[in-house]
Structures are given as C-alpha cells and as structure tokens.
Amino acid sequence: MRIILAGTGSAVGKTTIATGIMKALSEKYNVQPFKVGPDYIDPSYHTLATGNVSRNLDSFFMESGQVRDSYLKAMDGKDIAVIEGVRGLYEGIDSVNDIGSTASIAKSLKAPVILIINSRSLVKSAAALVLGFKALDPEINIAGVILNKVKNKAHYEKTKRSIEEITKTEVIGGIIRDNSISIEERHLGLVPAREKENSLKYIDIWSEVMKNSLDLDRLVEIAREAPKITSDIIPIWNKLNKQKVKIGIAYDEVFNFYYKENIESLEANNAKIEYFSPLNDEGLPDVDGLYIGGGYPELFSKQLSANERMLHDIKTFHLENRPIFAECGGLMYLMNSIHEDKVVNVYPYKAVLTDRVQALKYTIAEVKEDNIISKKGEKFNGHEFHYSKVLVDNKNIKHKLAFNILRGKGSYNNQDGFIEGNTLASYVHTHVAAMPNFGGNLAISSYELGG
C-alpha cells in the first residue's frame, strides 16, 4: 500500500498534513514515511510520528530502478507507505521534464496521488486547479483531494461539490484554518523535530486534526489500489569491502543531516557504526574512520568550541592520516573557526553565517582528484543548501579541491571538496544512489588507513 501527498505548490500545508496522517495511521498500521527531494528536516517529523526512519526519494539522485530499490528496501516489514511530496506536484529542476519532481516518483512507483490545495478564497476555481493538474499528465493518478485552510463547513461543502461534480475526483476531507498547527521555521527551513521542544505534543495535535478532518479509511483504500511493483530494480549501492571496520558518525543536536541509505551502504560494506556527539561526548570512540554530516554548527559554535577534548581528538585523528569525510555543517566544524569560536582547525579558514542563502541548488560534480569516497573522472549528483560560507583568500588557498562543480556553486571558484591528507570536506551533500561506491570506498579507506 502506498500513497503520495502532493501539493499544488509550496506552503499548502504538506508537512503538517503528511505528518499528522502518518501519526494517525500509525495507530493501526506500521507506517513507512518518505519525503520527495533532498530534505533532512521534514523527515525528522515523519520519523518521530511513525517510529520508522523517513527515507528520501529523488529522481535527480536516483534512476527509476533505484527509486524502486530504495522504496522496497524500506518497505520490508511495513504495511503502508505515506510519501510527502516536494513543492508543487510537477516542480523539478526543469520547466518541462520530470526530473526532481514528485510526479517522477509517482510514475516510478505507480503510486496514487492525493492533491493538497490551499483552498482559501477558492470554490469553483479549486475545480479548475484539479482539472489542470489531471490534464497536464494523464499518467499521474490523482485519486483524491484534500482541501486545506477552508473557512468553515459551508465553504468546504461548496468546494467539495464543485470538485467532485466537475472533475469526477473525490475530496477526502477539509481542514479548517488554524494558525496554531503551523511549524516554526529558521534559515534552512523548519526547525528539526529533535530540537523543537514538545515536538511529539505538536505531532499528536496534528494527528487529531487529521482524524477529525479527513476520511482516513478511504485514504487507505486508495493506497491499497496501488499495483504491485514489478518493474526493473537497480541497486542503490555497491558492495566493495569485505573487511570489518568501525566508522564513527557524528550524531546529536548539531549534526543530524544524513541520508539513512548512506549509513546503510557503510553497513552493507562491513562497517560497524559507532555514533558519537561532538557536542556532548568527552572524546572520540575507537574507530577507523569518521563521517561528520550536516546540521547547524553555526548555532552551537560556542558549545562546540568549549568541548576542547573532542576538538583535540578529531584533530589528532586527522594528523594520524586516518580518514574523515565531512559535508556542509561538518565542513564548517573542520575549519579554523565558526564565527569567532575556535573549532577543529584542519583547514585554516573561518566559516561564517551570512544573512542570505549562499547556495540552494541541485549540483553536478566531476571528481578531479582521487579521495576517500570517489575516484578521479567520476561524476555524481548532489545538492547544496547553506547560508554559511568559508572565507578563503584567493591568493593563498593552500589545499587541493577534489571536485569541479559543473552545476551549482561549490565552496570556492566552482570547486569543492577540500583535501588535507586523508580528510575530505565539502559543502555538497550526496546520496549513495548518485555515488553507489560511496560506502565501499569509505569503508575501504577506513580499513586501509584507519588501523
């Protein structure tokens, strides 16, 4: 069983509605949540709501067969998939094709779509929206509609009648306008669920609203109508390493932006994962390699700076030429300082937070230097999303950079991936589906270099 919750555009309430539905259905079913697109924050709410780690499905990172592989791996032992879309149903990286869109995932999975409409001030025009979305691509099965932000019961009933009689598409519920169910935001989007106090309390409220506003039994019936997946499957990772290794992964309030499949690809390559907290732990665990992901180190720079033992341990790990891979927030942490707060100092540059977005884009990178996760000549897709930047003196840059950025911005002059010994740090986030040897290469590097 599977269903996609898609919007007519951004800011129609997808995350609140999707998370509430996931929580409500979890009372009867083992729900596997998914998010379309390169998002770490919305999935944190899904994970809290269901108890299952939310996965990302993205046709820029994944071929159709990889979308199906990722989906089927996650659905092992689960009852129903609830997939939250990204932006509008048809929005992708191009104004004509489907790449990066929710529609592309619907096609790969042959999943029915529930279209969410911000129905404020709309009645018959809502029917026009539904007609347009259905006509644009008949291959997409728009099986139902949810009306958000309806004024009252009368408004809902009029809009429901218009849609159902004109478009022959059923409306499975309407949600009354209520600002109390909105979510707090910050510079990279929503505040991650693990940071927000009383997140479970809010999720419970959203669940009650969905149970009182929507026909969830009908939504499950629509999900049950999705056909069995029989198309070609393409593995999202390769198994290269047969030696046992231990890899430390930074995971706490600061560093928590990871694709679960990246970690699973390490485990599939015989890596035992040891989680540690750069913020709270006294030192590093006994490991062969390190993976420091993204997050919000700019908000915790003073606390990170105060943990001198951890800074010393990571710098020593680096000086011993053991492998460290860091991306985005992890890159900032390995710089000389964040703002004025001293951090690990693998690289002699300052990371600073700016008042405007520095990069928000899907990226394509070409590897120009062999490194601990990739080989020269390879290309891979990734994404950038940060308000921070690294202050590099153009005349005195002291490091090789591993990647030429063919699409996107990168850290420095359309390049990224600072190399210092066996440490690699990049603003580019990648997903193992776009770099299938990621887990194997990092595991091999950890075995060969980390002992």
Q: Catalogue the active-site residues.
A: 328
Give the orientation angle of helix 153-167 with respect to helix 124-136, to 10 degrees: 40
Task: For residue 90, give the nearest of 9, 34, 171 by alpha carbon.
Answer: 9
Give the separation between CA 261 and CA 145, rounded to whole angstroms: 32
Q: Helix or strand or coil: residue 411?
A: coil
Give the separation between CA 188 and CA 41, rounded to whole angstroms: 9
Give the separation between CA 49 and CA 349, rounded to whole angstroms: 40
For residue 156 the two structure tokens come to 């809902």
**CB burial readout 334-367, b (16+ within 10 A) else e:** bbbbbbebbbbebbebbbbbeeeebbeebbbbeb
Residue 315 parent element (H or E): helix 308-319
417 in Cβ contact with 428 (< 8 Å): yes
Specify which residues 174 forms β-bridges with: 147
Fill in the amino acid letter for 16.
Answer: T
For residue 52 the two structure tokens come to 């299952």
Q: Helix or strand or coil: residue 251?
A: coil
Residue with tokens 């529609």: 103
Kindly report the length of the chain.
451
Specify which residues 273 forms β-bridges with: 247
Question: Percent helix, strand, coil in the chain (nearest 5)?
Answer: 35, 30, 40
